[in-house]
């Protein structure tokens, strides 16, 4: 996958560290990756192969060559990709609604993984498909894919430390307050394998939301129901988190029939992963990625606004 060598310049504060400690404590390498590097002999200091227990001094230059990996065993498929960002460490794709990120037992084709593997094969790349997080099938927007074990670890650590920020746009039923924080634990609904609920024994889950605009009148006796456009940010990333949280507070996503949303006007959950901010795993430079609202959601917002305008003019 291109040049995956990582170059580390040793400064005064790291002088005297062993190479193993430097990689683990300063650069965030997992123990498993350090063990792989130890077996592969993939570390040079000032051009000379070295061992993990050797110490470094200020001015040394370490070159870490990432060990090779087995590719993902999945059939590549020629499926168009909307690439938002790409370099030797990261691939960011704008996933359309209706596409799974990764195959499941009963569906092994037509997924984002199949499409990415085909794209890589055509570019002469062999590697593992590593989405940093997943989106539901019917949620559109940015999916971040790491091109190496190291990049995946760094981005996962940013998720854990809340340095990787994800923001979504959604159309919900009703009009919530202008802003809010939902801190409610989530767990599987009893007797279900893919439906979630708020439950005291669940895993912690926190969602922040901000009202961007009202899309319907919602007056008592009005034939025009109230809808709202929200910006939501995940502090945690549980399965179906936004969908369950918004449904629980009485504002399900439009089109989300599973969690109480009306699907007459829209036939999927009206949710789009529109923005992601993170620090590049190799350079530490801030990266900000954005995607436009897809055509079906734009048309939905236009329709709801036009219905509101028609009601006012009656």
Active site residues: 136
What does DSSP say about strands 186-188 and 140-146: parallel, antiparallel, or unpaired? unpaired
The distance of Cα 258 from the centroid of its chain, to the nearest Å, equals: 22
- Token readout for 43 is 């570390």
Is there a contact between 310 and 280 (Cβ–Cβ < 8 Å)? no
β-strand pairing of 83-86 with 90-95: antiparallel
Which residues contact residue 219 at a Cβ distance below 8 angstroms, ignoring those fewer than 6 apart? none
- Give the full edge-to-edge strand order of the sheet including 48-49: 6-9, 61-64, 43-45, 48-49
Scanning the structure block, which residue is given the tokens 């709801």?
304
Which residue, 244, 241, 261, is CA-closest to 253?
A: 261
Give the span between the Cα atoms of 236 and 185, in whole angstroms.
10
CA distance 128 to 153: 14
Where would I find the beta strands (DSSP E) of 58-148? 61-64, 83-86, 90-95, 130-131, 140-146
* CB-based contact 160:180 (threshold 8 Å): no
Interatomic CA distance for residues 291 and 93, integer angstroms:
9
Question: Exposed/middle/buried for 26, CB within 10 Å: 0-12, 13-18, 19+?
Answer: middle
């Amino acid at each position: 996958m291109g040049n995956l060598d990582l170059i580390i310049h040793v400064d005064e504060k790291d002088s005297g560290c062993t190479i193993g400690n430097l990689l683990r404590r300063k650069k965030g390498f997992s123990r498993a990756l350090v063990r792989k590097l130890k077996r592969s002999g993939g570390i040079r200091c000032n051009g000379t192969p070295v061992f993990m227990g050797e110490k470094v001094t200020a001015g040394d230059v370490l070159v870490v060559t990432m060990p090779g990996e087995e590719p993902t065993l999945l059939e590549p498929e020629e499926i168009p990709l909307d690439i938002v960002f790409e370099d030797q460490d990261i691939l960011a794709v704008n996933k359309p609604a209706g596409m799974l990120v990764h195959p499941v037992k009963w569906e092994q084709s037509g997924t984002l993984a199949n499409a990415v593997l085909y794209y890589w094969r055509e570019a002469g790349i062999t590697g593992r498909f590593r989405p940093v997080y997943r989106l539901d099938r019917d949620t559109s927007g940015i999916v971040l894919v790491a091109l190496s074990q190291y990049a995946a670890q760094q981005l996962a650590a940013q998720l854990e430390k809340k340095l990787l920020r994800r923001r979504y746009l959604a159309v919900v039923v009703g009009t919530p307050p202008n802003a809010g924080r939902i801190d409610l634990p989530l767990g599987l609904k009893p007797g279900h394998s893919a439906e979630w609920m708020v439950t005291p024994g669940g895993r912690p889950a926190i969602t922040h939301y901000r009202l961007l605009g009202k899309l319907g009148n919602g007056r008592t006796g009005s034939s025009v129901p109230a809808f709202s456009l929200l910006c939501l940010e995940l502090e945690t990333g549980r399965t179906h988190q936004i969908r369950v949280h918004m449904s629980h507070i009485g504002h399900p996503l439009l089109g989300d029939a599973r969690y109480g949303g009306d699907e007459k006007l829209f036939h999927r959950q009206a949710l789009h992963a529109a923005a992601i901010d993170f620090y590049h795993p190799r350079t530490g430079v801030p990266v900000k990625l954005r995607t436009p609202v897809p055509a079906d959601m734009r048309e939905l917002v236009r329709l709801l606004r036009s219905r509101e305008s028609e009601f006012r003019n009656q």
